[in-house]
Each structure stands twice: as C-alpha cells, then as structure tokens.
Structure 1
Amino acid sequence: MRTAYSVQTVRAAERELMARLPEGALMQRAAAGLAVACAELLGRVSGSRVTLLVGSGDNGGDALYAGARLARRGAGVTAVLLSPERAHRAGLAALRAAGGRVSGDARRDLGRADLVVDGIVGIGGRGGLRAEAARLLSAVGESALVVAVDLPSGVDADSGEVAGDAVRADATVTFGAYKPGLLIDPARERAGALRLVDIGLTLPPDAEAVALQHADVAELLPRPAAESDKYRRGVVGVVAGSARYPGAAVLAVAGALRGGAGAVRYVGPAADAVLARFPETLVHAGPPHRAGRVQAWVIGPGLGDESAALDDVLAAEVPVLVDADGLRFLTPERVRRRGAGTLLTPHAGEAAALLGCGREQIEAARLRSVRELAARYGATVLLKGSTTLVAGASGPVRVNPTGTGWLATAGSGDVLSGVTGSLLAAGLPPLDAGSVGAYLHGLAARRAAGPTGAPILAMEVADHLGEAWRDVWD
C-alpha cells in the first residue's frame, strides 16, 4: 500500500528526525537517493550534461548536493540559480568543489541538457510557478529528461491541485513519504514515474491518502468456501436500463455477474435484452422490494426518469450503490436517513450537480470535492475520473492506481457499478467495495486494451474481469 501524508505531517517527522541527526545529514540522505535515481535514468553518467534548476529552499540544496555527486562521476553539471543570493550556500560550494559550475547562459544550458533537475520549489510551495521559472522551463530541450525533487514545482503537495504553470516531469523522486498530490490528478500526471527514497522518517499510522496494491486487494476479495452457495456468496439486485438505454442494464448485469456475486436479480424494462445475453440472471418486473431477497442494490445506469424505483431501493435495509441517472434525484436528506451503507459513484459532471458547482471546479480539486461530497451526503463516494478517488466519512481517501485512458468509453461506468455492487452484496463495506471494484475494473481495462493500448468496448472490460481477479491472486 502506498501511503501519502500531508506536508504538515512530513515536516513534523523531519523536525523530529533532524533533532537526532548531525546537521545536514537528512539533506545528504535525500541528495544521495536523488543522485542514484538520476544516474539510473541517464544510464551513462560520465559525459552527460545535467542542468539543475535551483530555487531558494531546501529543494534547491537537495538538487545542488545531488549535482555534486553526479559531477564527481564525470557528468557536466550546471546550476541555474533562480535566486542567487538565497541559494543553499553549502550545497553550492559542494557543487563547485566537485567540478560543477553556475550557468552563465541558462537557456543554452537547458536546451542542450540530457537531464534537467527541478529543484525550484519544495513541498511547502503554493500556487503556480513564477513567470521567470515558467520562461526557463520553455527552454528545456525536447529530448531532455526532467526529474522533479520531491514533487514537480508548481503543484500543491496536499491536494494535487495545479493553479497555474507547473513542471511536467518524467520522474519524481520524493523523500520519506508520498504526498497526496503525487497520487491525485491533475498533479499526478505531471509527476511521471514515482520513486520513494527512504530517509528514515517515523510517520503516524493515519495517512491523508492511500493507494491499494495487489496484496491489499487480495486480502479484501471475497473467496468462496467449500460450503458456499449462491445465496451465501451474495445476491445483488440491479435496477437499470430503460426503453431508450437497454444496453446500460446489460452492462451493469455483466459487471455484477463477473464481480463475484452468487446471483443477480434484475428489475427493469430491459429484461429481454438481459436474458438474451445472460440467461442466468433472475428477472422481475418490479417494484424492487417484490423482486426477492438481495444483499445489496445497484440503481441508476440508464434509468431515465424512473424516480419511484429509487425511492423503493433507498428504503431497503441493505447497502445501495447509486450511479448515473439515480444521482439526479438524490438529496442529502434522502441519503442521510438510510440505516444501511450508501455508495455514490458520480463522474465529475454528476458530482458538480450534487454539489451545485461547475464541473471544472470538481476536476481542478478532486480531493477536496470527494471529501465534501462524502461529508454532505453522509455516504461513501467514488469519484470517477482520470484518478478515481473513494472517500468515506473519515479516514484516508483511497486513490485507485489502476486503469487506462481507454476506459473513457460509453458504458464502462455501468460495468463498474455492477462489479462494485456485487462486492457490496458479498459483504464488503462501501469503502472497500468501491476501492476493490475500481481496482479490478482498471486492471480489466488494461487487459482488454493490451500491452500497447487499443480502443476497447465496455463489454470487453467485463469479459476481462476474471483475468483481473487472477492477476491479483497470483
């Protein structure tokens, strides 16, 4: 599990450690890890050209000390000082002693560099880059690799927000702990490949955000026992589809059947289409409360204006997942008065409607938005998008690390609802069901798209869910 901590928490851990170490030792640890990562990216250090973009804080000191190490290995290292009078003095002296130099022509040195080290702003920075730094970045050659120190300058470490110009790195070397902004878009896609350098910090158990990995998901996945039957494995009810959108019902049922449920009960007008594709489905004309026993409900994909079914499902004393059209009729009061768990799965546009703001506000501040939704509706919220986030009423936000841009295709969200609803029916709490569902859904999409990537259909995502389960368990 990747755990990400706020700037405040990381700073406190650094202060506690520095009090026990010789002066400068912590920076040397960070610089050593940064230099190793840069050397690995270069492949051949001797004879390479490295340009350091050096700000006035400790980030600039890290870059200078790392540059000194690379210079001692034969690299031609040049430092571009954005605030010469405030540059880290000891780091600059170390660079010069190792044979590095201060740039006399920043644009020339950036343009011919093999590797550029971004040490402009540290994790305490706020807002976008200043105009001078942004102009310098425009001079970096197209073939140069860009390595960010701790995080790309110009992004917000705590939220992942980008308010203006920011560095776009090929790799980010971060120290001591991941920061939320490295895991969450729009900052995440500017960070490139992540490398964590252990500098000896002691961090608390409660993080701001976590990203599950295979081992974490394998522990959460329900595994049938010898005495299991279809009812013990969980029965999920699906209320989806309409005369206009029968395919949404088929895709949601596909996800539910592939998501581990023992049985799926479908309620809605698309029964013929569902049975034609999945004859094992149990169908009912409705209303939902007359369809038979279920352990969880999924409602919303392709539902149209059928709000009566939503009233029926929300009255049930089992977990409910609300997606797509079902979200249009929700109010905080309708969700809060439920006794069982509720999982909302909006995309950015639907989240904006739920919060009464613009879509661009959701996309610019995804972490803040998912937390606000969870608090306002008293529910667990899975905010879909380039970084899918899952938030409960308290605790760290879950960040989904799987997926592919090819998932941006019609119907993929319907499949996700089905998968996640099955996990709810199997007994997973909403936070775990949302996290595991998104993880499997993303893995299945990668499988469907193949190693080089290709357009995929939503049904292909459902068809590859079994492989995703095996990937996690193997």
Structure 2
Amino acid sequence: MLSAHTVGDIRAAEEALAATLPEGELMQRAARGLADSLGLIPAGDVVVCLIGPGNNGGDALYAATHLLDRGVRVDLCLLDESTVHAEGLAAAQAAGAQIVAAPGAQRWCLDAIFGIGARPGLTGKAADWERWLVQESPYTFVVDVPSGVDVDGATLPGSHVSAEATITFGTYKNALLADPAADAAGAVSLVDLGLAPHLPTPSIEAIEAFDGHLLDPVLPGRSSHKYSRGVLGIAAGSEQYAGAAHLCVAGAQAGLAGMIRFVGSTALSQRVVDRAPEVVAGRGRVQAWVVGPGSGDDAESQLAMALEDRVPVVVDASALQHVPDRFDVPALLTPHAGELAAMMDTTREQVEADPLGHATAAAERWNATVLLKGRRTLVAQTGAPTRVNLSGSAWLGTAGAGDVLAGFAGSLLAAGLDPRDAGSVAAYLHGVASVQANPDGPIVATDVAYALPAAVAAFVRGDLA
C-alpha cells in the first residue's frame, strides 16, 4: 500500500534519520532525488526556481547544481533573501544559477516556496508568483508539497500552487493523496530517503495492484459451499427505482458471497429473480445486509429489519436518512458528499472542501466505517488509517455505479471482511473495473458489474495491469 504520514510524524522521522547520517546528507539525498526526477527539462532550457525559506528551498537550490551540471539553465526567484538557505544558495550560484527579480517567460517552473511546515494559503510575493503561474502556465514541478495547501488536512483554504507534477520525499503526505489538495499536486513521485524504519503507523493508506492479499482470508477453498462463503441480504430498489435493485444484486454477484437473498415487494422480487435466477427471494439467515440503494418510503423499516439480525450492514442512499444515533453492529456507510452533508447538517460545498475531516468526524459520530464517495473516495474508521482510493475512470460518474458498489462491498462483508477492508477493496476494484470495462471511454453501471469478476481474479493473482 501507499502510505502517508502527518507533518509531526515526518519531522520526528527526519530527525531520527538525520541523527544517523553525516551532517547535510539528508538534504543531499533529497536534492539528488529531486534533480533526477526533473529529467523532462531538456538541456539548454531555463527553469525558474521559486525559492522560499528553510530546507524546502535548500532542497531546490542543491538540486539546481545538478541541473546546471547537465546543461539546464537555472533562474532563482528568492522570496526573502534573509531567510533563504545560505549554503544552498551559495552552491547554486557557484554552479551558475542566476538570481532574477521575478519570473518571466520561462517554460519550466520549480515550486519550492514553502514546505510541509508552512501555514496554508499564500500572501504577498508568494501570492504574486501563484498568479504568474496561473497567467503564464509554465510546466510546474513541486518540491515535496504544493505551496499553500493544508498538508495534514488536505484542504485548500487559500491561494495555492497547482502543478503538473510533485516530487515528494520520504513518504507521501495527506495532501498528496486526499482531495481537494491532491488535485493541486498533479502526478506524484516519491523519493526514498530511508525514512521507513523511523515512521509510525500512517495517517492515510491507498490500496495498490499488488495488495490482493487483503482478500486471502475470505477466498473460498476446496471444501467451501454457498453458506460457508457467506450469505448476503439485500433490501434495495422500489417501484420508482427498480433498476437499483438489479444493479445492487449485480454488484453483489460479482463479489465473494456464496448466496444472495433479496427482500422487497412481490413484484420487484419476481423481477430480480427473473433477471438473476441464482437469487433467493425472501428473508432468511444472512451474514451481512445491504440496505438503501433505490429504496423508497420503506427504507427506515428495512434498515430496522437488517439491524435486528445483529450482523454487519452496508447502509446506502435513502437508508442513510434513518441511521441510529450510534451503530452497535459493524456498519459501512456509503454516502456521497450531498448525503453526508444532510446527515451532518451542513452543506455539500463544506463536505467537498474538507472530505477527510467530515469522513473522519462521521465515523466517530456514528461508530461506523464511512465510505465517502468522490474522485478520491475515502474510507474512514476511528483508530485506523483512513484509506483513499486512487483507482477509477472519470466515466465512473454514471447513474447506478453507487448501487453496484454497495452490492459489491456487501458481498465482501458477507464473506467475512471487516467494514474497512470491505469498503476499501470494493472501492478499489470498482474503480479498476470501470477502467477495464472500456479504457478511456464511456461506461454504464452494468458494464462495471460485468467487469468486476475479472478484476477480482486479477487482483487475487497479483497481475492487475
């Protein structure tokens, strides 16, 4: 998995590592890694480096010496010469870097204004440079984190740099993985400084293609049968949204559960079974429930019914309006920003401005795992690193995709995964399936459901493309 850490934990790890190294070696590692990551800039071109105070500026200044060695011309804009890294500036100037009063017509830019310890938002000369970036649109690289972002909260409370690429050091930061700040970072690459032995439990994780071991505990064996694989109950759909029932069932059938029971009106149940004859209509013993996709006025009673069984539950869509004060069974809530805003008596805009904060608060508030859907879906559970999903196609924003996700997550829950693993694996493979269904092209939710079994198999084998 990818891992991100808080600023405090990174600072402590850097101090611990630096204590084992010759003086200045940690910065030299960062500078060499940074320069190696700037190979896109051709010899003979000019890059303007926006240099702020302290070590972040120092990393860029020492990296400039390597760029100059391979024929790249370097212009330096200093935020405040009195606070610049003096040794780094001297080294860069000795290698041939030129100080300029302001950025101009350069096609390449390196943002080294502020590092992880700065307050979010840009003012003064730094804000002027940000406006230049917007107006002139040079190809912009970032040193460690985009200047102006809220590094731990992953928010964008003020003026900030937006870049094509970010080169970060030691470990990922929350702002590089979680939205909205992650959108400002562009493509992110990590320079390994050797921090890993000194880092504690991460603050954020992201599942990767080789994490199929997460499914190992619930994969069927030679002696498995439909009941041992887990039975999932689904209470979804309505006369108005009958399709949600079909899509939720399709998502569930793509998962690991051995059997699906569907609870709904007689007419809807008949339609579901006609379309998916493996489904059993009617209530019975289950290992998990999915409640809410496309439900109508009976969402409240359906959720109460599911909670009576004292088994894990996925709560989606209209059922989210009827959650108890706190859950006393394992629960996975799957709201989008608008639904979470309604639950928390706030606005969609506020949730989208701080999804990490709201998902974390909601998980604590309802004693549940919260899967907050979005471009970078979050899975938050109190006491564990929040997981952020990095897979998926922009075409996944299509009607019914959430119904498929709810059913698929429920199937993993019924098979025996805990809500955090079920939600995060489901989100990851749901995204993978959206790409595999039609790379770079439009899809519908049914396409995603049909692509999920192959995505699961490739994930388990460890050969996802």
Aligned with 1:302 (options 286, 294, 315) = 294
Matched, 1:211 2:206: yes
- Mapped to 2, the partners of 1:332 and 1:79 lie a distance apart of 56
Which residue in 1 is equivalent to 2:281?
A: 283
For the residue of structure 2 that corresponds to 1:464, the secondary structure is helix
Superposition pairs for residues 27-106 of structure 1, below 5 Å?
Answer: 27-39=27-39, 41-42=40-41, 44=42, 46-104=43-101, 106=102
Report matched runs for 1:303-342 at 5 Å: 303-306=295-298, 307-333=300-326, 335=327, 338=328, 340-342=329-331
1:134 maps to amino acid: A
1:230 maps to which residue?
226
Determine whether 1:293 maps to 2:290. no
Q: Please, which of 439, 451, 455 is the counterpart of residue 464 of structure 1?
A: 451
Equivalent in the alignment of 2:13: 13
Could you report, residue by residue, the CA deviation over 1:127-168 in whole angstroms, capped at 9, with x for unpaired residues?
212243233233347663211101111111112111112111
Match of 1:287 in 2: none
Q: Match for 2:331: what amino acid?
A: T
Residue of structure 2 in register with 1:189 after alignment: 183
Correspondence for 2:120? 127
What is the identity, as a one-letter code, of the residue corresponding to 1:89? A
Aligned to 1:411: 400
1:375 aligns with 2:367: no
The reply to whether residue 272 of structure 1 matches residue 276 of structure 2 is: no
1:55-108 deviations in whole A, cap 9, x for unaligned?
Answer: 11211111111111101211110001111222111111111111111014x232
1:199 to 193, 202, 216: 193
Task: Give the Cα–Cα distance (whole angstroms) in 2 for the partners of residues 427 and 205 of structure 1.
Answer: 28
Structure 1 contact 233–261 (Cα < 8 Å) conserved: yes
Tell me how far 1:322 sits from its aligned partner: 0.5
Preserved contact between residue 3 and residue 209 of structure 1 (Cα < 8 Å): yes
**Could you tell which deviates more after superposition, 17-26 or 409-418?**
17-26
Instruction: Return the letter of the residue paired with 2:16.
Output: E
1:421 and 2:418 aligned: no
Q: Distance in 1 between matches of 2:391 and 2:212?
A: 12
d(CA) in 2 for partners of 1:131, 1:322:
47
Amino acid at match of 1:91: G
Offset at residue 404 of structure 1 (A): 2.1
For 1:171-186, list aligned pairs within 5 A: 171-186=165-180
Letter of the 2:198 partner, please give it. L
Structure 1: state its 5+ residue gaps. 285-290
Letter in 1 for 2:129: L
Q: Note if contact 2:77-2:103 (Cα within 8 Å) is conserved in structure 1.
A: no
Secondary structure of the equivalent of 2:229? coil
| Structure 1 residues 309 and 143: alpha-carbon distance in aligned structure 2, compared to 1, 3 A threshold | closer
- Is the Cα contact below 8 Å between 1:406 and 1:449 reproduced in 2? no
Partner of 2:332: 343
| Cα offsets for 1:378-420 (capped at 9, x unmatched) | 1111111111111122121111121122111111100000000
Q: How many residues align?
A: 455
Distance 1:179 1:154 in 2: 14
Using the TM superposition, name which of 351-360 and 237-246 deviates more. 351-360
Partner of residue 288, structure 1: none
The one-character-per-residue Cα deviations of 1:324-382 (angstroms, maximum 9, x if unpaired) are 0000111324x2xx3x3111111111111222212112111111111111111011111
CA–CA distance in structure 1, aligned partners of residues 257 and 348 of structure 2: 34
* Structure 1 residues 241-300: Cα deviation after superposition (integer angstroms, max 9, x where no partner): 11111011010000000112211111113223322321221112xxxxxx1111110000
Q: Separation in 2 of the partners of 1:399 and 1:107?
A: 36
> Could you say which residue in structure 2 is the equivalent of 1:107?
103
Are residues 151 and 275 of structure 1, via their aligned partners in 2, closer, same or farther at CA, if it must alter by over 3 Å?
same
> Secondary structure of the residue that 1:443 maps to in structure 2?
helix
Is this contact kept in 2: 1:151–1:157, CA < 8 A? yes
User: Which of 243, 246, 252 is residue 250 of structure 1 equivalent to?
Assistant: 246
Amino-acid identity (%) = 49
Q: Distance in 1 between matches of 2:286 and 2:236?
A: 15
Whole-angstrom distance in 1 between the partners of 2:309 and 2:61: 62
What's the secondary structure of 1:390's corresponding residue? strand
- State the match for 1:168 in structure 2: 162
SS at match of 1:38: coil
Q: State the distance in 1 between where 2:303 and 2:96 align.
A: 71
TM-score, structure 1 length as denominator? 0.93
In 2, the alpha carbon distance for the partners of 1:204 and 1:143 equals: 36
Ranges of 4+ aligned residues in structure 1 off by more than 6 Å: none
Q: Following the alignment from structure 1 to structure 2, what is the Cα–Cα distance between the partners of residues 243 and 200?
A: 58
RMSD, aligned CA: 1.5
SS of 1:107's partner is coil
Does the CA-based 8 Å contact 1:151-1:172 persist in structure 2?
yes
Residue segments in structure 2 that go unaligned for 5+ positions in a row: none
Aligned residue for 2:346, secondary structure, equals: coil
Letter in 2 for 1:16: A
Query: Which secondary structure state, in structure 2, belongs to the residue aligned with residue 47 of structure 1?
Result: coil
